[in-house]
Amino acid sequence: MDDFLRRLTALIKKEYKQIVRDQSSFIIGVIIPIMMILLVGYGMSLDVKDVPVAVVMQDPSPTVQDMFSFMDGSSYFNPRYVTTYHEGVSLMDDRKVDALVVVPPDFTESLRKGGGHVQIILWGVDPTTAKTAQGYMEAGLAAWQQAHMREYMTSYGTRLGMISVSARQWYNDANTSTWFFVPGLIVLIMTMVGVFLTTMVMAREWERGTLESLFVTPVKPLEIVLSKWIPYFFVSMGGFALCMIAAR
């Protein structure tokens, strides 16, 4: 047992010394994880901010303006106010907004009589963002209604004027998730393929001993790098084209 521990301790010390001498191990084990945490932590967020929204105020009453005041100055919305449905649809088709909130001309009157209706139209190509934006808008309308429910009690008793919201997704009405994640999956696959191709080529050259042969030729390092990069770039582009066809 003592001999085992002595040998094991010697081997562990040897590995530590090798780590100190070979900086690549330290970089892979410490520096790269920290860099990935910082990059992903700062660069990736599931929060939806500054959603461009067109509010179609066919009823431009003070009540409606106050109802959508929660969007003004909010970090979650970037509202644009229009008065006609056609203007809102044009903004959606031009990809200037990701959602429409349509307020009918008789909204205030209907609210005072017992219930108003608002329609939310979402750009459904990105269903995750659309659903999140829908939740934000419905929460804002519910908060406003809760704060003003006493004001809109009808004369028919204690019934409250309620706001009903109907949502619809355009261009992806079935909420097909593959329309959203397949393009991102292509990017992920091509990134991995590019890395695998590069590592395999360099490892194969090193194992066969041909890399050392290149070093003793008159070619320059940049020429070696470009000769390794250009052919496999076109191979990857061929794979990318096939991925696009398969995705379609």
Band (pLDDT 50/70/90 cuts) for residue 150 is: low
Q: Return the pLDDT at 79.
A: 92
The secondary structure of 82-119 as a DSSP string is: ESSHHHHHHHHHTTS-SEEEEE-TTHHHHHHHTEEEEE
pLDDT at 155 over 50: no
Query: pLDDT, tens digit, for every residue of 212-223?
Result: 777 777 878 788
Query: pLDDT, tens digit, for every residue of 112-127?
Result: 777 788 999 998 877 7
Domain range spanning residue 30? Answer: 2-43
- Residues 59 and 151 occupy one common structural domain: yes
- Give the count of domains, the chain: 3
Amino acid at 107: F
- Residues 182 and 161 occupy one common structural domain: no
User: 157 or 168: which carries more pLDDT confidence?
Assistant: 168
Residue 58 C-alpha from the chain's centroid = 32
- Residues 69 and 148 occupy one common structural domain: yes
- Residues 151 and 187 occupy one common structural domain: no
Q: Return the pLDDT at 104.
A: 92
Contact by Cβ (8 Å): 81, 64? no
Place of tokens 């590592």: 199
pLDDT at 199 over 50: yes
- Residues 56 and 123 occupy one common structural domain: yes
- Residues 191 and 102 occupy one common structural domain: no
Last residue of a domain, one of 136, 151, 170: 170
The DSSP output letter for 56 is E
Band (pLDDT 50/70/90 cuts) for residue 154 is: very low
pLDDT at 86 over 90: yes
- Residues 162 and 133 occupy one common structural domain: yes
- Residues 148 and 74 occupy one common structural domain: yes
